[in-house]
Chains A and B, each alone.
Chain A
Amino acid sequence: GAGVSQTPSNKVTEKGKYVELRCDPISGHTALYWYRQSLGQGPEFLIYFQGTGAADDSGLPNDRFFAVRPEGSVSTLKIQRTERGDSAVYLCASSLREGHEQFFGPGTRLTVL
């Protein structure tokens, strides 16, 4: 079956612009996570959805970051007024249930000029 997909694979934007990153999880996976990975680092947690609701958004760095999962499947991570420090690879992962292994998408590489 299909794995986790993320679009776009690359996004270049200018400082101050708004961006949306999309994640399509594995079908039937109720848990969805967003992480951010900077060069040479391990991924860092951003937000977790169980179904449609954000069960844990403690990793979002500030209020410029927001994510939704309106129908409990596809999720969109939204970043307003982008800053150069937002440049990173944004990873999405899904798991069948809480506690199970997470399967990661290929990531979206965001570059803010």
Chain B
Amino acid sequence: AQKVTQAQTEISVVEKEDVTLDCVYETRDTTYYLFWYKQPPSGELVFLIRRNSFDEQNEISGRYSWNFQKSTSSFNFTITASQVVDSAVYFCALSMPSGTYKYIFGTGTRLKVLA
């Protein structure tokens, strides 16, 4: 079965703190893709990153970084020096060629950054 688990329902941090959002996935496919999306209060899902199963390199983009570990089936997302504008719901998603590339989403983590 394919599944994405985001165990953290809600996280609150104070501005400038670092925060890590966890994502654990399940699939038997060897080829798959992982994604993170941000859903701010306005509601529109914003693409953040795409990673394929053959590329375990970590990625950094400004204050955002991602840690992909196949050994633990995890694709965690860290925001460094969080800002109030980072407040949103963050979704992790999985897609596979065997599944017509449709997304399987986690339930999301609501991040609240307090000033």
Which chain A residues have a beta carbon within 8 Å of chain B's beta carbons? 31, 33, 35, 40-45, 48, 55-56, 59, 89, 91, 93, 95, 98-107
Contact = CB atoms under 8 A, between A and B. Distances in A.
B70 interface: no
- The size class of the interface chain B forms with chain A is 20 to 34
B45 A45 contact: no
Contacts of A91: 45
Interface of B: 4, 33, 35, 37, 42-47, 50, 91, 93, 95, 97, 99-108
A27 B103 CA distance: 21
Contacts of B104: 45
Contacts of B91: 42-43
A45 B9 CA distance: 21
A43 B101 contact: no
B15 to A, nearest CB: 25
29 contacts: A31-B101, A35-B103, A41-B108, A42-B93, A42-B106, A42-B108, A43-B91, A43-B105, A44-B105, A45-B102, A45-B103, A48-B100, A48-B101, A48-B102, A89-B43, A91-B45, A95-B101, A98-B100, A99-B33, A99-B95, A99-B97, A102-B47, A103-B47, A104-B37, A104-B44, A104-B45, A105-B44, A106-B43, A107-B44
